[in-house]
Amino acid sequence: MTWRPGVPLGRVAGRWPDLAVLAGLVAAAYGLAAAAGRYAGMGTPAAEVELSPAALPFYALLSVGRMLAAYGLSLVFALAYARAAAASRRAERLMLPALDILQSVPILSFFPAAVLAATALFPGSLLGPELAAVLLIFTSQAWNLAFSFYGSLITLPRELQEAAAVFRLNFYLRFTRLELSFGLIPLILNSVMSWANGWFFL
């Protein structure tokens, strides 16, 4: 990957990428609704809520577990998505507008699709609502982290890239020793904001 200055979003995203992303989102929403409709009548067992104060630590632990699971998924998604977008200009033209659109969608807009999809995958089980909660927390964390790491990758100094080429670093070493190290501080700072967004939604 060679260094290149950041490209304004207006130049990167033409009309056809926006239309392609919009069509993909509509198709995905339709597919989720159609799949979930087959299981709509099966329902989900009601969860028994313990109102005793002694149960609060257990419920707090469950909430932290959901947050950790969502943050782990968000971090893996952000690293992979940003790396793919920064490595290919053709992929960047589709991936950046898609990420920008997803970031602009309110979190609660994902609620029906996430719940329907999760309950369709695990009908009659409490695992469906738990998975839906993790996915919704994911939507409050992932986009910010992805933009942060992408910004670090496209501003990677040429001298560091030349040094990596001289030492013939393979993909793994280049990613861990150069790219991830360079983007670590912005990732940490944005992780704080992403974690706060997740708590706010939860």
> For residues 146 and 99, is the Cβ–Cβ distance under 8 A?
yes
With 0-12 CB in 10 A as exposed, 13-18 as middle and 19+ as buried, what is 17?
A: middle
In this structure, the dihedral spanned by the alpha carbons of residues 196, 197, 201 and 202, taken in order and rounded to 10 degrees, is: -40
Q: Write down the domain spans for the chain.
A: 62-201
Residues 62-201, CATH architecture = Orthogonal Bundle (1.10)
- Average pLDDT estimate for 127-151: 89
User: What is the reported pTM?
Assistant: 0.70
User: What does the pLDDT look like over 54-71, one tens digit per residue?
Assistant: 778 888 898 899 999 999
pLDDT higher than threshold 80 for residue 115: no
Cβ within 8 Å of residue 161, ≥6 positions away: 1, 2, 3, 178
